[in-house]
Structure 1
């Protein structure tokens, strides 16, 4: 009897568990990067028809641990806005799951992130009341297709002038909710996840250990360093999304 899913050997499983640890540490410290890196690690290992679903369950566990550790810094009115938008977005995304070109979504997400990070934005009346609701809806449609929408949420949160702990905590809670809704939606439309559950459980445990270490790094980091690294990471991720949207392959890949 084996606890490994079909097509995954022991070495590959061990590497995925190690990647879960490292990416969770990165996400706990900076809020982003881990989900995108995990999606890349799963590509080529997980069948295309279940990759976003498996990624969603792993990220649900990772973000839940982060949300628990950092919950006291969350802004719950913003979270409530996000929940409403996320519910609408996931429901709509499930309906159109097979009908939207992935490249178009990647391009839109990349351009949005660059705009949020680098384009000066005027004060928008009513942003506090509706901005996160709209962001939750849009990102939750996107997550059904491209999986890792943490950078999108991070870019929206930057507009609220939160400190580093507030940004990371709110994103953790919001991504936990989003991935939870996504897993429910994928289960409802018949994506088979049972063979993957033992490996997913091991990845979640490793991810929680990484989350603990990454949270310690966050607490020791200066606000200026955090903001600089965050902008750099968001920019790199956005450029990579545009590269993928254009179908450009990196050398050796």
Structure 2
């Protein structure tokens, strides 16, 4: 197993991460959000700090692509056409920074926007159009390079785009996150992170995540749009409260 799993982790730790990838993918596929941050928290416990965000980004890329493939006919391609260039710009801007931005400030900012998007007034049509989507993609991708926890913020924005339709929300959140995680490979690779040391573990986590996604989408079919929206909003709010707690702790 040495050729497949990273030498920095024990077999038990690697197995835990593979199982966690499946469970957290099922969570995100069935209730829309939450799995990515939960997986990030688990990875932060057992992995070297320098590897957490790069490996998490690649595993989430694979997990989100799996979800896009399984919900392809619900994807809003006009939304993605505006989101993609914003994600590239945000990643490029982040690559220019050589210092770590204050984590607590980023966490409080993300939490504030999540709560506003869930419970505040609906974003005007202009803010949900191409320009607003481009700006949202740029900002959230930029922040994700430093905090790695912008999934709920993107989810809250996508919810405003497709409120009331659980499958469109899940599909387009996955598509946007795929675009956001994609530039990370180039940015972290250019910064010197050696992905090949973690390739076997990443592939196994992506494969187990595909099984979790399949199971989660089957559960999603049994939830009504109304109940999905209620669960989605409250789960995002709890994640925002967690970010505030971490920032102030």
- Match of residue 178, structure 1, among 155, 165, 180: 180
The 1-side partners of 2:100 and 2:153 are apart by 22
Task: Give the superposition deviation at 1:126.
Answer: 5.4
- Match of residue 208, structure 1, among 207, 210, 224: 210
Trace 1:33-112 onto structure 2 (pairs within 5 A). Answer: 33-96=34-97, 98-112=99-113
- Across the aligned residues of Structure 1 and Structure 2, the Cα RMSD in angstroms comes to 1.4
Task: Give the superposition deviation at 1:124.
Answer: 4.7
- Across the two proteins, how many residue pairs are aligned to each other? 247
CA deviation profile, 1:73-104 (whole Å, cap 9, x unmatched): 01111111100110110111121253311111
The 1-side partners of 2:127 and 2:12 are apart by 52
The 2-side partners of 1:136 and 1:122 are apart by 15
Task: Give the superposition deviation at 1:241.
Answer: 0.7
Structure 2-normalised TM-score? 0.94
The 2-side partners of 1:8 and 1:38 are apart by 16
CA deviation profile, 1:200-240 (whole Å, cap 9, x unmatched): 11111100000001111112210111001001110000000
Q: Is the 8 A contact 1:97 1:144 kept in 2?
A: no
Q: Is the 8 A contact 2:6 2:198 kept in 1?
A: yes
The 2-side partners of 1:222 and 1:174 are apart by 23
1:251 is aligned to none
1:125 is aligned to 126
CA deviation profile, 1:136-181 (whole Å, cap 9, x unmatched): 1111011101213221111111222441111111111111111111
Instruction: Classify the secondary structure of the residue corresponding to 1:152.
Output: helix
Instruction: Classify the secondary structure of the residue corresponding to 2:66.
Output: helix
The 2-side partners of 1:160 and 1:220 are apart by 22
Structure 2 stretches lacking a partner, 5+ long: none
2:136 is aligned to 135
CA spacing shift, 1:136–1:39, aligned 2, 3 Å: same
Q: Is the 8 A contact 1:90 1:181 kept in 2?
A: yes
2:29 is aligned to 28
Trace 1:12-27 onto structure 2 (pairs within 5 A). Answer: 12-27=13-28
The 2-side partners of 1:54 and 1:80 are apart by 26
The 2-side partners of 1:55 and 1:127 are apart by 28
- Match of residue 167, structure 1, among 154, 169, 173: 169
Structure 1-normalised TM-score? 0.93
Q: Is the 8 A contact 2:127 2:133 kept in 1?
A: no
Task: Give the superposition deviation at 1:134.
Answer: 1.1
The 2-side partners of 1:122 and 1:201 are apart by 38
Q: Which runs of 4+ in 1 moved over 6 A?
A: none
The 2-side partners of 1:85 and 1:123 are apart by 19
Instruction: Classify the secondary structure of the residue corresponding to 1:98.
Output: coil
